[in-house]
Each structure stands twice: as structure tokens, then as C-alpha cells.
Amino acid sequence: MSVSVQEADFDVGAETAALSAGRLDVGAVATFVGLVRADKLSGEGSEVSAMTLEHYPGMTEKSLEAIVAEAGGRWQLQGVRVIHRFGRLLPGDRIVFVGVASAHRGDAFAACEFIMDYLKTRAPFWKKEDTPEGGRWVDAREADDSAAARWSD
Amino acid sequence: MSVSVQEADFDVGAETAALSAGRLDVGAVATFVGLVRADKLSGEGSEVSAMTLEHYPGMTEKSLEAIVAEAGGRWQLQGVRVIHRFGRLLPGDRIVFVGVASAHRGDAFAACEFIMDYLKTRAPFWKKEDTPEGGRWVDAREADDSAAARWSD
Amino acid sequence: MSVKVLYFASLRETLGYSHETLTLPESVSTIGALRGHLARRGGAWEALGEGRNVRAAINQEMVGPESALADRDEIAFFPPVTGG
Amino acid sequence: MSVKVLYFASLRETLGYSHETLTLPESVSTIGALRGHLARRGGAWEALGEGRNVRAAINQEMVGPESALADRDEIAFFPPVTGG
């Protein structure tokens, strides 16, 4: 179970392989990679030429670790890796990696999606897009709140 | 949308990157890697020292392509990659890769899990495990049927 | 009518055949009838009998017992799949 | 009691402050009360007023408006998060 908040890019192949490396009881690795889209992240206006991710150092790591711990309490997991970048990113750049290893695919898929949903509403990151009209802060999406809420039954 | 059935291993990092390469409208890539577990795949008996995956050449590709096409009809997808190996594999070896690119993570996660669930019940692959007591064919799991059935509402 | 029949996995091992070409009597016109026809060979072939967990494909598409056979079809019988 | 207050993202830009250290009157003992206290500075600070979509953390844990403050707490105010 490991969490990183960093400016640097990450290696999806190496991170995915590390989740099952040296163990023979992992049957399933589910991963998610989030990328910067050029088109209307805020739902309106022009193309995005770059984006800056601000975060709250210290709280970011704590919140991600708490989310991972909660996933570990809900499903049988053998490894979890979360990497979230901050700083300036360009369209097509990777933002976030979540990888989950488990004996069974159901647990791996559920935990991976759960971590992403919670991360979206609980981890203190904020996106500011650069557009031809200047910088604009991305609004939080109601869809993200609903996505997180469906895990609380 | 591309499907491969092959003996060779695959490169998870390269396959994942290819799903969003050269496009700026992909916000989410969900992937799944299935691996050979050493412990009791058949639910009983001894450790597995190796496994042989038999398949039905021709039908395998057709069935995977049909599953991918069905996923493409259900969700907004920008790329899908399925790779399934056959032949002799050892514990820890990769068996299957499913990668799905979409604008949004909900579609990517759902399609990736859907493809795995359908693949498990519709693609003509059969596993035979090598154990100290000799070869034994893996029994189909009822859990896989239920996992596939939940998509048909 | 003449069809090619393929057997896979444990079924192939049980029967000792991976494939055969068959000329069918007119009464055998569906997958279910073909299973019965083969099972009546007796011995190992009873693995294809009613109640056994066998899946079938015609021309590489999974089908049910009512599916009609046509001349030169490629039929396959196999146990429930276990890939992924 | 004395607390450190941090502001992030659009709120930081609106206020023109990233952080400050405050000595609070006794009447200000919860997150909600602190928000009101700050909003009463007027001008840009009204961004912290009631009804504005502002989230808060105490010592790096997300909290609600009733949460009690303690001396030397690290408080943060910020807009809803948009990572991932």
C-alpha cells in the first residue's frame, strides 16, 4: 500500500508489474490512469493548452492514505498504489495512477473505482486550466459527488 | 478496437500508453491484467506448477471482437485493446490484458469490467493446471456466470 | 448433410478425438439432436448426453440446443469456458 | 487561542492570502464561527460567508462547520476539490 504525490511522470508498466511482482497469489490487477484532456474540462469555453494542479502538501498524502486504508477494509487486497501529480501539465499528460492487486477481479475492479471516486471528492487537489481567455479554475462536478456517494450504502 | 490471441507476453505500459497516444480527448484509461495464481485455481488440491491454456482458434478472436463491439455499443469508448494468451504459462505469468480508453472514468471502468466478465463466460479458452497429482481441467465458476449476468438488465 | 465437428479441452481428451467429419441422417437437424446422435455411440461419448454440461458452437458462434444445422457447418462441442 | 489558517486555489487568489496566523476571540470556537468571523472582514472575504461553497480542514482532515477549534490548530479553507 503506497501513495506518492509528485511532479514527475510515472511508469505505468513498471507500477502495474510491481503490484504482483514476487507473489503468486495475485490473480487480478486493475489500474486506472487519468489524463489531461484538451477539450472543455470545465464544460464550456475553449481548448485547454495547459493545466496547473495545486495541492495541499501533507493533507494530500494523508487523505490518499486514508482512502487506500478504507478500500483495504472493504475488499481483500494484496497491493495498492496511488500516484497523483501536481504542477503544470499539458493535454495528454498523465495526472493520476491507481493500481490494485487482488486474488479476484471483482475486488480489484471495485477497489480501484472506489479509490478514484473518493480521491475525486476528498483529496485536496485543484485544477486551473490555461485557455486563450486566460486561467480558469475547474468547477467541481456534481457527478463526482454522486459517484462517491454510491459507495456509502 | 483491437484484439490479439497470442502465445507471447505483452507490454502493459506500451499497451496502456497506446490507448491514448496521439489524442487529447482521452481522460481515462482503465486496464485489467489477469495473472496465473499458484494457489488452488480449482478451489481444491495442491499448488499449481504450470498451466496450459487451450483455445478454439478463429472462434476466440471472433468472440472477443463481438464482446468488444457490444461494449462499444453500451459506452462511449475511444479505444479498446484485448490480448489473451494461450499455451503454457507459469504462476505469476500474465494471461489477459483488457484496456479501455474513454473521455470519462465511469465508462472506462464499466466497459473494462464488462469485457472481462463476458470474456470469462463467452470466449473459448480452457485452463488445464499441472499439479503434483497430474493435470486437471479448471472447472467453470458459477461466480463468473453471475458476474456476466448482472450486465443483462 | 455433412458437417465438421470439433471437440475441445476435457471433452477432446475424454473422447480421444479433436475433430471428425460426419454425414448426418435427416433426423439430425439441430445441435441437440446431434448431441443425442453422438451420445448414442456409447462409452466415452455419453459425455455428450443430456444433462452433461456441454456447450456448442456453429461456425464459431455459441448456440443453444435448438439451433439448426446446415450442410458444411463447422460444429464445436466443449465444456464451459475458463479463460481470462 | 491562536491558529494558523491556510487558503487554497481560487479562494487563495480571491483573498490574496495563502496563509495567516490568527488570535481568535473566545466566541470563535468552531469552523463555522471562524468562517463568519473572517467573512465579516468584508470585501473579498465575503467569499467565506454562509452559502458559499467552501470546504474546511482541521489539521489536514476534512471537517464540517460544527467542528471545534483548538489552540495551534492548522485550519484550511478551500473550494471543492477537483483532482484525479
Q: Which residues of A touch B105 (CB under 8 A)?
A: 32, 34, 113, 116
Residue ranges for chain B with pLDDT beneath 50: none
pLDDT at B43: 56
Q: How far apart are CA A108 and CA A106, in angstroms?
A: 6
Q: How far apart are CA A12 and CA B82, in angstroms?
A: 17
CA distance A99 to chain D (A): 14
Measured CA to CA in angstroms, residue A5 lies from A59, A63, A97, A120, D55 at distances of: 11, 11, 11, 15, 21
Arithmetic mean of pLDDT, C66-79: 98
Measured CA to CA in angstroms, residue D72 lies from D2, D5, D22 at distances of: 6, 10, 10
- Could you tell me which residues come within 8 angstroms of residue D63 by beta carbon, excluding any fewer than 6 positions away? D31, D56, D57
Number of Cβ within a 10 Å radius of residue A138: 21
Q: Model confidence over A113-124: pLDDT tens digits?
A: 999 999 999 999
Percentage of residues of chain B with pLDDT beyond 90: 83
Q: Describe the strand order of the beta sheet including C19-23 as a list of residue ranges.
A: C19-23, C2-7, C74-78, C55-58, C61-63
Q: Model confidence over B128-148: pLDDT tens digits?
A: 998 888 899 999 988 898 999
* Contact (CB<8Å) C83/B124: yes
pLDDT at A42: 52
Beta strand C2-7 pairing with C74-78: parallel
Q: Helix B142-149 and helix B105-122: axis angle, to 10°?
A: 140
pLDDT at A133: 84
Per-residue confidence at A44, pLDDT binned at 50, 70, 90?
low
Q: Does A149 touch chain D (CB under 8 A)?
A: no
| Side-chain-facing half-sphere of B145: CA atoms under 13 Å | 6
**Distinct helix (H) and strand (E) counts, chain D:** 2, 5
pLDDT at B1: 79
**Contact (Cβ atoms closer than 8 angstroms) between residue D83 and residue D76:** no
Per-residue confidence at A43, pLDDT binned at 50, 70, 90?
low
Could you give the 3-state DSSP secondary structure of residue C77?
A: strand
Could you give the 3-state DSSP secondary structure of residue A59?
A: helix
Percentage of residues of chain C with pLDDT beyond 70: 100
Query: What's the grid cell of residue B9?
Result: 507476453
pLDDT at A152: 85
CA distance B6 to chain A (A): 19
Could you give the 3-state DSSP secondary structure of residue A111?
A: helix
Q: Model confidence over D1-37: pLDDT tens digits?
A: 999 999 999 999 999 999 999 999 999 999 999 999 9
pLDDT at D63: 97
Query: What's the grid cell of residue C1?
Result: 448433410
* Contact (CB<8Å) B37/A20: no
Q: How far apart are CA B39 and CA A23, in angstroms?
A: 11
* Contact (CB<8Å) A34/D6: no
- Provide the chain D residues 17-46 that lie in CB contact (below 8 A) with chain A: none
Per-residue confidence at C16, pLDDT binned at 50, 70, 90?
very high
Per-residue confidence at A47, pLDDT binned at 50, 70, 90?
confident
Percentage of residues of chain A with pLDDT beyond 70: 95
Arithmetic mean of pLDDT, C2-6: 98
pLDDT at B69: 98
Question: Which residue from C minimizes the CA distance to B135?
Answer: C10
Nearest to A117 by CA among A140, A96, A141, A145: A145
Across all residues in chain A, what is the average pLDDT? 93
Sign, CA dihedral A25-A13-B87-B54, equals positive
Across all residues in chain B, what is the average pLDDT? 93
pLDDT at B38: 87
Indicate the pTM of the whole model.
Answer: 0.94
- Could you tell me which residues come within 8 angstroms of residue D13 by beta carbon, excluding any fewer than 6 positions away? none
pLDDT at B29: 98
Model confidence at C62: pLDDT above 90: yes
Q: How far apart are CA A14 and CA A25, in angstroms?
A: 19
Across all residues in chain C, what is the average pLDDT? 97
CA distance D1 to chain A (A): 23
